[in-house]
Amino acid sequence: MNEEKENKVKMQSQTHDKVTFGAERCYTSLCTVKASLTKEEVLRMKAEIRCKEKLNTLAISVMNQWPGVKLRVTEGWDEEGKHATDSLHYEGRAVDVTTSDRDRSKYGMLARLAVEAGFDWVYYESRSHIHCSVKSESSSMGKSGGCFPGNSLIRSSEGEEKPLSEVKIGERIAALDTNGNIVYSEVIAFLDRSPEEKRQFVTFTTSSGRQLTLTPAHLIPVVSNNHQSSEIIFAERVKIGDRILIQDSNISNEIGGFRLRWDSVIDIKLTLENGVYAPLTREGTVLVNDVVASCYAIVDSQTIAHYAFMPFRFFCSVRSSLESASKFIWPATIFAISEKLNSVETNEIDESPEDRRLKPHGVHWYASFLFTLASYVLPTSYLY
């Protein structure tokens, strides 16, 4: 290995302890990845292979780019000490990949697909493969949380359906309140809004034909085959036969116009979609494609996540009151303060202040702060 390049990888993300798997070999040479990693392959990777999700995404991209060609992993976790002392191969954060046909003319596009898949560091380590690595989970947690694709549909307070990509802060969209009723709740922020980003999603199809597409780390209410009561779990843990909560458009009730019911999941598949959107409502829930989902991700507790955002909800209420008052008192001053606060929430500088406020870009600063804090104060069992 080129030690100079390996040191560059170290600069991108500090190394941690080596991952030790004992006598069992984990993802060694000439292992061909299918369109999605199977449970057996994930077990072989022992969950410490922190780049498994990115590898999954890259495998799907390769299949889509070159039908009949698969992703080929030539080196994953190193148990023989062949790399530099601080190599990320010892932590399961680096892989060397090629295509299954070993066509070197494809490696340029393969590197580009690896970048789009979310790898933090990609380069030509040798003529025979592409080297890819990711930052540690603690440093990247706040950058890849729970989202929906932009073509997902929500229902606005005007009764119309519209794609998430068109939703703005301040709009009222369908959500579920604490009493289990469908209400229209204000969108107070986007925890993530990246229209150009490509990400891996999991798509659930129910027996009634409903489809919900969201990231594996997103929380969703479920009634599993093993439990009679509902629970809110990561989308990754949902299995075929489990039931998710849908809005039944065929049966009306007195409160929201339609009643809710549990519908069985009959199909689960991984997909790649462009655009990631994570609206935050005051209720902490949202109906997407007429399916109930949480607004939160990463932390395995709807209650903890909702309470963690309480200061931000209070801040939004105060800001909303000040902006209303600004129509009559100190309009210029309040407007300037509001724009300065909003500038923290977006990296975009080419759009008008109003566009930046209503349609911010990137991960929200408060969400990023909470994700970083969670890695220090919560047990690892609570984190995705």
Which sequence spans correspond to the domains of the chain? Answer: 3-135
Q: What is the pLDDT of residue 134?
A: 80
Q: What is the pLDDT of residue 362?
A: 84
Structure tokens at 83: 């790399």
Architecture of domain 3-135 in CATH? 2-Layer Sandwich (3.30)
Q: What is the pLDDT of residue 355?
A: 63
Q: What is the pTM of this model?
A: 0.65
Ramachandran angles phi, psi of 116, nearest 5°: -65, -30
Mean pLDDT, 10 residues at a time, over the chain (384 residues)? 41 43 33 40 42 84 92 81 70 86 92 86 85 66 70 91 93 93 94 86 93 93 85 92 87 58 92 89 96 94 95 90 69 53 48 65 88 86 83
